[in-house]
């Protein structure tokens, strides 16, 4: 078990300004009118973030970097901005990433989350602020603290988990907690009624990340401690707001389970629950038992392959069917505690149809929300609303500013408070 608190909890206390190069870099950054930003990883979520950022008057240059350039080139043609530059870069090549980040102010790293650790390391070496949509660690344990200290000593802010879930969900949990005299529980529920004609199995976001998430023990926060349960072992039916309605959801290992207790100190229970079709969940369980979701390379007739990558490659790329998706996506944050002596639930949620997301951003609703959360966090960093150095989690961001910026990007948040 991982004890609540510990070194990671210190993230939410005031941090001392970095010395030497870090201090000089901060002074230089504040004096700049415009910044140079790198979007490393131009998949379906990253490109939503990039399209938002391309409209910012504070960005002098926005580099879209990836090993595959079809998505980046399509976006560059669509936005028609002189600030947007496309570069072919292998995000797993340390020398190439270092060359890319040198002299840049911010990198938004949106590759599969396990690959982003290298980007954070290089960002700290060259003094580039860092943003991602999901932290590149399995928990907020010793490794998390080590990397936070590395970034703090380098004088950079490393914003982790800044998408939809984690990201928006964490900020809404902080908002919900302020409505109560004491918050005891916080739970996230993600639901989607997406369908695509002709496809039975698909992922509307990174297939690698989804399969990875279903292959590892799920974290739950119980009685003030993190505990782990077997993958896809905790299923329930959750009734989402209409038109989504009741769906099966499963607990998985997600950043919110670690982050929310750091932000809301009174929590005793916390969890993340994602809607997964039962047929997909059964298939993922079978694949895991067969070793097909393994992350270590194996030899197949003289060729070294990662089983997880093979299975993911057999699923269609989400950008290939975004225009064909029907249905809605929704996420709900429930914060439960006490208000005026009564047990009270604060429920916050957002809803978006896949049709609407495709009309406005040529993407699906889930990836629109992920990329938009990342763009909001990046804009707040550029606007100097992030004061801390080291690793910064969503709970540390100014809540009202974050929510205002979401509304400006057509993300409507609904709120309901009831005694229970």
CATH number at residue 222: 3.30.360.10
Mark whether 234 and 336 lie in a shared domain: yes
Average pLDDT for 361-378: 95
Mark whether 7 and 144 lie in a shared domain: yes
Residue 180 domain flag: yes
Peptide bond into 243 cis (omega under 30): yes
Q: Which two tokens stand for residue 37?
A: 């930003």
Domain around 276: 168-361+407-419
Write down the pLDDT at residue 323.
86
Residue 183 domain flag: yes
Write down the pLDDT at residue 210.
86
With 0-12 CB in 10 A as exposed, 13-18 as middle and 19+ as buried, what is 306?
Answer: middle
Mark whether 129 and 214 lie in a shared domain: no
Domain count of the chain?
2
**Residue 360, CA atoms < 13 Å, CB-side half-sphere:** 17
Q: What element of type H or E holds 95?
A: helix 94-101
φ, ψ for residue 313 (rounded to 5)?
A: -65, -25
Mark whether 201 and 113 lie in a shared domain: no
Name the nearest CA neighbour of 188 among 255, 276, 273, 261. 273
Per-residue pLDDT at 27 exceeds 90: no
Write down the pLDDT at residue 332.
98
Residue 368 domain flag: no
Residue 239 domain flag: yes
Residue 369 domain flag: no
- pTM to 2 decimals? 0.88
CATH number at residue 36: 3.40.50.720
pLDDT tier at 119, thresholds 50, 70, 90? very high
Write down the pLDDT at residue 117.
96
Mark whether 154 and 72 lie in a shared domain: yes
Q: What is the pLDDT of residues 321-343, one digit of tens each?
A: 888 999 999 999 999 999 999 99
Residue 367 domain flag: no
pLDDT tier at 8, thresholds 50, 70, 90? low
Mark whether 330 and 390 lie in a shared domain: no
Residue 270 domain flag: yes
Q: What is the pLDDT of residues 171-194, one digit of tens each?
A: 999 999 999 999 999 999 999 999
Q: Which of 93-102, 212-221, 256-265 has the lowest mean pLDDT?
A: 212-221
Angle formed at CA 319 by CA 313 and CA 323, multiple of 5 degrees: 135
Using the CB atoms, write b or e for 376-394: b if 16+ within 10 Å: bbbbbbbeeebebbbbbbb
Write down the pLDDT at residue 361.
85
Residue 123 domain flag: yes
């Amino acid at each position: 078990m991982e004890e609540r608190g510990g070194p990671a909890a210190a993230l939410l206390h005031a941090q001392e300004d970095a010395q030497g190069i870090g201090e000089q870099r901060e002074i230089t950054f504040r004096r700049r009118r415009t910044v140079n930003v790198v979007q490393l990883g131009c998949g379906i979520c990253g490109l939503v973030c990039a399209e938002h950022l391309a409209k910012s008057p504070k960005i002098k240059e926005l580099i879209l970097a990836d090993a595959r350039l079809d998505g980046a080139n399509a976006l560059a043609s669509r936005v028609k901005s002189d600030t947007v530059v496309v570069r072919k870069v292998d995000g797993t090549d340390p020398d190439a990433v270092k060359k890319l980040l040198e002299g840049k102010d911010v990198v938004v790293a949106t590759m599969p989350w396990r690959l982003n650790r290298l980007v954070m390391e290089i960002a700290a070496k060259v003094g580039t602020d860092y943003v991602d949509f999901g932290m590149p660690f399995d928990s907020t344990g010793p490794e998390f603290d080590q990397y936070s200290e590395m970034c703090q000593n380098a004088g950079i802010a490393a914003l982790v988990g800044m998408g939809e879930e984690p990201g928006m969900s964490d900020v809404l949990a902080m908002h919900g907690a302020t409505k109560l005299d004491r918050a005891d529980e916080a739970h996230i529920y993600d639901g989607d009624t997406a369908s695509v004609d002709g496809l039975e199995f698909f992922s509307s976001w990174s297939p690698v990340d989804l399969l990875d998430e279903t292959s590892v023990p799920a974290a739950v926060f119980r009685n003030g401690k993190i505990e782990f349960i077997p993958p896809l072992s905790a299923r329930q039916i959750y009734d989402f707001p209409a038109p989504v309605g009741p769906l099966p959801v499963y607990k998985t290992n997600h950043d919110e389970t670690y982050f929310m207790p750091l932000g809301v100190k009174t929590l005793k229970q916390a969890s993340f629950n994602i809607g997964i079709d039962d047929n997909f969940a059964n298939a993922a369980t079978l694949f895991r038992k067969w070793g097909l979701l393994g992350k270590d390379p194996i030899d197949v007739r003289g060729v070294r392959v990662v089983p997880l990558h093979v299975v993911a490659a057999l699923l269609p790329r989400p950008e290939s069917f975004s225009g064909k998706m029907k249905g809605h996506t929704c996420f709900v944050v429930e914060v439960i505690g006490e208000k005026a002596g009564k047990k009270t639930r604060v429920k916050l949620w957002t809803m978006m149809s896949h049709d609407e997301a495709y009309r406005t951003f040529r993407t699906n609703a889930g990836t629109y929300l992920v990329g938009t959360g990342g763009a909001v966090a990046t804009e707040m960093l550029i606007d100097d609303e992030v004061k801390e150095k080291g690793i910064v989690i969503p709970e540390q961001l100014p809540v009202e500013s974050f929510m205002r910026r979401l509304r400006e990007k057509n993300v409507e948040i609904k709120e309901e408070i009831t005694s229970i």
